[in-house]
Structure 1
Amino acid sequence: MAPDADDSDTEHDTSRRVEEPVPHAHLARDETLAPLVEAYGPLELDPEGDPFERLVVSLVNQQLSTASAAAIRERLFDRFTVTPDGLLAVDEAALREVGLSGQKVDYIRSAAEAAREGRLARDRFAVMDDAAVVDDLTDIHGVGTWTAEMFAMFVLGRADVFPVEDLAIRRAMESLCDTPSREAMVERADPWRPVRSYAALYLWHHYEDGDPNVPTA
Structure 2
Amino acid sequence: MTGPHDELATDTYLGPLIETHGRLTIEPADGFFQRFVTSILRQQVSMASAAATRERLFEAVDVTPAGIRQADDEVLRDAGLSRQKTRYVNNVAWAFEQRGWSKTYFEGMDDDAVRAELTDVTGVGTWTANMQLLFSLGREDVFPVGDLGVRKGMQTLFDADLTRAEMVDEANRWRPYRSFATLYLWRIEEDIAESVAEVVGE
- Answer yes or no: same fold by TM over 0.5: yes
Alignment of 1:57 onto 2:38: yes
Task: Indicate whether 1:204 and 2:186 are aligned.
Answer: yes
Equivalent residue, structure 2, for 1:104? 85
Counterpart in the other structure of 2:171: 189
After superposition, the C-alpha distances for 1:130-163 in whole angstroms (9 at most, x for unaligned) are 1111011100110000100110111111000000
1:80–1:86 CA contact under 8 A, matched in 2 = yes
**Residue in structure 2 matched with residue 17 of structure 1 by the alignment:** none
2:192 & 2:92 partners in 1: Cα distance?
A: 33
2:14 pairs with 1:33: yes
CA distance in 2, matches of 1:89, 1:21: 48
Q: Please show how residues 170-189 of structure 1 align to structure 2 within 5 Å.
A: 170-177=151-158, 178-189=160-171
Could you tell me which residue of structure 2 aligns to residue 117 of structure 1? 98
Deviation at 1:32, TM superposition (A): 1.0
Query: In the superposition, relative to structure 1, how do residues 119 and 181 fare at CA in structure 2: closer, same or farther (>3 Å)?
Result: farther
Distance in 2, Cα, partners of 1:117 & 1:64 = 29
Q: Distance in 2 between matches of 1:58 and 1:209?
A: 18
- Write the deviation string for residues 145-203 of structure 1: whole angstroms up to 9, x where unpaired: 01001101111110000000000000111111114211000000001011100000001
Aligned residues: 194
- CA shift for structure 1 position 211: 8.1
**Partner-residue secondary structure (3-state), 2:189:** helix
* Letter in structure 2 aligned against 1:196: R
Stretch of structure 1 that moved more, 164-173 or 123-132 = 123-132
- Structure 1 segments, 4+ long, off by >4 Å, are 209-213
2:200 match: none
Gaps of 5+ in 2: 196-202
Q: Distance in 2 between matches of 1:37 and 1:192?
A: 13
Q: Answer yes or no: is the 8 Å Cα contact 2:88–2:124 preserved in 1.
A: yes
Name the CA distance, whole Å, in 1 between partners of 2:164 and 2:157.
14
Q: What is the alpha-carbon distance in structure 2 between the residues aligned to residue 28 and residue 155 of structure 1? A: 25
Distance 1:202 1:140, change over 3 A: same
Corresponding position of 1:47: 28
Higher relative contact order (CA 8 A, sep 6+): 1
Query: Is residue 60–residue 75 contact of structure 2 (8 Å, CA) maintained in 1?
Result: no
8 Å CA contact 2:187–2:193 kept in 1: the answer is no
**Which residue in the other structure is 1:78 paired with?**
59
1:71 and 1:21, CA in 2 relative to 1: closer, same or farther beyond 3 A? farther
Instruction: Give the aligned residue type for 1:208.
Output: E
Any conservation in 2 of the 1:179–1:185 contact (CA below 8 Å)? no
Q: Which residue does the alignment assign to 1:149?
A: 130
Counterparts of 2:24 and 2:194, CA distance in 1:
19
- CA root-mean-square deviation: 1.7
Q: Which stretch of the first structure deviates more once superposed, 89-98 or 151-160? A: 89-98
Task: Give me the TM-score of the superposition, normalised by structure 2.
Answer: 0.90
Residue 119 (structure 1) shift:
3.6
- Taking only the aligned residue pairs, the percentage that are identical comes to 47
Using the TM superposition, give the Cα deviation of residue 79 of structure 1 relative to its aligned residue in structure 2, in angstroms.
Answer: 1.6
Q: Given that residues 36 and 202 in structure 1 are in contact (C-alpha distance below 8 angstroms), is that contact kept between their aligned partners in structure 2?
A: yes
Consecutive unaligned residues in structure 1, runs of 5 or more: 1-19
